[in-house]
Amino acid sequence: MAQNRRTKLNILVTGTLGTGKYTMSSLLADAAQLCHINVGDVVKEKNLYDGWDEN
């Protein structure tokens, strides 16, 4: 059976608000020649949420 071999990684960065996740992950993606995807933007763009917690 043939195995699918990935040539690039998926890297998920999580953490507390305002700690520089977006900045750091953008720089990392540029340096590693990876695609940077902001999941929050995709969720909003495609309306993939059911509600919002204001707390």
43's tokens: 């969720």
pLDDT of 7: 77
What does the block give as tokens for 35? 């695609």
How far is it, in rounded angstroms, from Cα 18 to Cα 49? 22
Tens-place pLDDT, residues 20-41: 999 999 999 999 889 999 998 9
What span, in angstroms and rounded, lies between the C-alpha atoms of 28 and 33?
A: 8
Q: Are 25 and 11 in contact (CB under 8 A)?
A: yes
- Banded model confidence at residue 1, pLDDT cuts 50, 70, 90: low
